Structure 1
């Protein structure tokens, strides 16, 4: 799967799946983040991705219930570099709901990267998923703005500095559901190879379940989400 997209400024890009060979790159990119970016990613200080975390981030991606996509932008003629990573993970106790996150490199924030990446991710979301259930830091309004663009948003503030958020997703059009609206990659993109994906400062962040399942299940899902980077 390779889909061509364009950023707000017209920059050419394409979207590809995360692969199991990307573990080392993922770990290195995370280590390059600032402490604040890491805090915004996980809602807590996390300095390095452990082997267990990388197993969730990479090995658990199955393309069915856990979907992770990388956006590679053209940085010079016919040269494409990974600049963002987004994922959806279906909740095991609520098959209609999924957690969502996007990570965008600092230099590429504010250029429509996450918007372009999410347009593809939403079309490839797990079958039957029509709701996002997640958490967002109160000091991350960009993430809330992104979530609002995906559908009808409701949130709950428990006073901890973290919003519990639910988004009812817009239904896919017939063309989107059948794939007829998806642009094919150009020859240059297809021949550019598939670069390893980044883990970088999120332009927006949405994480962890708050309104799904019993306490034990929520804890298990939160633990899994804390190792899964996922938003413009």
Structure 2
């Protein structure tokens, strides 16, 4: 886990959201994020706003412009290493840029969803091990949990990209791609047609012979 990458995301979005998650035996684990994703702060002392600012070396004037919130971890979100009903999502291998954000396309049991690619940056050192799982709140809302091996290393909420404009842009892109594919297929057909005996390739030497 790259802790400084978490801070970079929070500074970029202007939000530091610090959660206290208390286990059944009373042990506190803190999670940090920007409100749309959160990561466990393993190996760090218990933090508050001031110590957080100090650890990440954020100037006081810059900190004054940042929204900081410290609260209990939401009970509706399960970040246990194993959860009943969780399902590994299918990563489509397709990313799109929308509204200045790079969105990663995932296939869930309820259809497609998107997460922001930036939320995978803190996991770069374990990214080859990371698998994404979908879980649901009791209200039926989907969220994504990232695991490295068997351990939960992040929780992310989907980015709501689907609207009329987005769909129309994707349809236009699909139409253009289909057109380019047809052109390629036509070119391949012409390239595989039987040779009629006429040499269509020539070089300078061949040209002099014809003259």
Q: Please indicate, yes or no, whether the TM-score normalized by the shorter chain is above 0.5.
A: no
Q: TM-score, normalised by structure 2?
A: 0.24
Larger Rg: 2
Task: Identify which of structures 1 and 2 has the higher relative contact order when contacts are C-alpha pairs closer than 8 Å and 6+ apart.
Answer: 1
Q: TM-score, normalised by structure 1?
A: 0.23
